[in-house]
Amino acid sequence: MSVPVLVFVACAVACAVAHVAILVSTLRSRTAVDAPAVPRPRATVEALWAVVPVIVLALVLTATWARVREQPAQTPAIMKVAQ
């Protein structure tokens, strides 16, 4: 596996873990007893705003994966310095 693919996979896994944590936090905050003076948005609105970034990130990661796979492994050019 090439380095760009490994970096992409590591970033995708980190994003997935973070979004799962966000979704779990959103669901758990509904069951937690908060101060009654703090207004809460409706559950559907809160869930929507938690899911929208997941969808956008999936689109971005899909486009990025296509770019990573189409780029051939390039050998770095050697700079000729002070000849």
Residue 7 inside a domain? The answer is yes
- C-alpha angle with apex 80: 75 to 83, nearest 5 degrees? 155
How many angstroms separate the CA atoms of 71 and 64, rounded? 11
- The tens place of each residue's pLDDT in the chain, 83 residues long, gives 778 888 888 988 998 899 888 888 877 766 656 556 667 777 788 888 888 888 998 899 888 888 877 766 566 677 677 65
Q: Tens digit of pLDDT for each residue in 1-20? A: 778 888 888 988 998 899 88
Tell me whether residue 76 is in a domain: no
User: Containing domain of residue 47, as a range?
Assistant: 3-32+42-70
Q: Which DSSP string do the residues of 6-50 spell out, in sequence order?
A: HHHHHHHHHHHHHHHHHHHHHHHHHHS---TTS----HHHHHHHH
Residue 23 resides in a domain: yes
Q: Does residue 22 lie within any of the structural domains?
A: yes
Q: What is the pLDDT of residue 6?
A: 87
Establish if 83 belongs to a structural domain.
no
